Structure 1
Amino acid sequence: MSYKEYETWEEKRCEVLDGKIISMAPSPLPEHQEISMQLSIEIGSHLRGKTCRAFAAPIDVYLFEDYREKWIDKNVRNWVIPDLIVVCDPNKITRSKIVGAPDLVVEIISSSSAKINRIDKRLAYGRAGVREYWMIDPANQVIEVYLLKENSLELHDVYTREDKIPIHILENFTIDLTVIFPEREE
């Protein structure tokens, strides 16, 4: 599939790598949305007035494109819609999409998306040059943090609800995960 074909769809969202549809997920669950919202508030507030900017889904990201080149939407065969991204190069931010690898990508996984996020997207994000990748598991209230090393995202650490998590691409900024993960009733 190309982006040209995708543009003809009505009311459907999908993600594509190498021209192959990898995900057409239904709307997220409330728990997913709550985590996404709280994380967006924390990161967005910290970035207010700074060069780096945060974006929450839905926003199309052309992973392997170069904003300096004369690219044409219709030929793009790799785009994703991460749950949350941080972009520190303002030239990658266009009116309608992000062109090139974000600095931080956050995916909130579910049982139906875990394989795609753990394998397909993680490998693609590494090849594209994403510097930091978070996989959030709401069911277990865990965040896996991967950092870029030689075009590969490698597991750096795992954080739980009781931890404070640093954002490695941003200096001196940590997030208390008790704010991100809702308290569960026993």
Structure 2
Amino acid sequence: MELPNKNTLTYAEYLQLGEDVQYEVIDGKIYNMSPSPNVKHQSVLVELSTEFNMYMRNKSCRLLVEIDVCLSGEDDPNKVDEWLRPDIVIVCDKNKIHENRIVGAPDFIVEILSKSTAKIDKLVKFHRYQQAGVKEYWIVDPVHEIIDVYVLENNEYKHVGIFANDEKVKVSLFEDLSIDLKNIFREEF
């Protein structure tokens, strides 16, 4: 799918393009979100989502995958000129959850790297999430089977560590949750 033949795009215009069109707009730049992620990416996404979702049953926070996020908190799609589509978001403020998007910064975001998105996830999105006040950000490298964990402290991300193999990752957002990476980076079939 070709990028729109224009320099700017509002969220309202984007919604008119159809459900099969997937773009992100960050700092005024339009990013095409295709092709679809590979099997390893999908496997990691499903496993992480399962771990978080099982924990969050009967809790006030909500896990969503691959949903548009309007970090600015602007509710009017005609005024929204930036949105992203993280792999996983956790939102603890139900007022931020709208029918087709999140309006405002989620509490927690996971991006799973692919060849075409690694630079954007590590640099562009990192800075936007930090600026917007996302409390915890995980960058998952499915090829090397590692997770970089960042926690927001004094409006800047602190690198908590790099986790791999059979390690457990403490989720700062929830006092009593750790994710066992042997469940995330399972052997492929």
SS at match of 1:73: coil
Please say if residues 123 and 152 of structure 1, whose CA atoms lie closer than 8 Å, have aligned partners that are also in contact.
no
**Residue 40 of structure 1: how far off its partner (Å):** 0.6
Paired position in structure 2 for 1:167: 171
Instruction: Report matched runs for 1:1-186 at 5 Å.
Output: 1-10=9-18, 11-57=20-66, 59-65=67-73, 71-183=75-187
Letter in 1 for 2:83: W
How many residues are matched?
Answer: 180
**Residue 183 of structure 1: how far off its partner (Å):** 2.2
Q: Which runs of 4+ in 1 moved over 3 A?
A: none
Structure 2 unaligned spans of 5+: 1-8
Deviations along 1:115-144, one digit per CA (max 9) or x if unpaired, are 000100000000100000000000000000
Superposition TM-score, scaled by structure 2 size: 0.90
SS at match of 1:31: helix
Supply the distance in 2 between the matched residues of 1:23 and 1:134 (Cα, whole angstroms): 22
**Residue 152 of structure 1: how far off its partner (Å):** 2.4
Letter in 2 for 1:3: Y
SS at match of 2:78: helix
SS at match of 1:21: strand
Supply the distance in 1 between the matched residues of 2:14 and 2:100 (Cα, whole angstroms): 15
Supply the distance in 1 between the matched residues of 2:126 and 2:23 (Cα, whole angstroms): 17
Given the superposition, is the C-alpha separation of residues 14 and 142 from structure 1 closer, same or farther in structure 2, using an over 3 Å criterion? same
Supply the distance in 1 between the matched residues of 2:131 and 2:169 (Cα, whole angstroms): 25
**Residue 4 of structure 1: how far off its partner (Å):** 2.1
Letter in 2 for 1:173: L
Identity of aligned residues (%): 41
**Residue 94 of structure 1: how far off its partner (Å):** 1.4
CA RMSD in angstroms, aligned pairs only: 1.4
Letter in 2 for 1:144: D
Superposition TM-score, scaled by structure 1 size: 0.92
Letter in 1 for 2:70: Y
**Residue 112 of structure 1: how far off its partner (Å):** 1.4
Letter in 1 for 2:38: L
SS at match of 1:22: strand
Supply the distance in 2 between the matched residues of 1:22 and 1:153 (Cα, whole angstroms): 24
Structure 1 unaligned spans of 5+: none
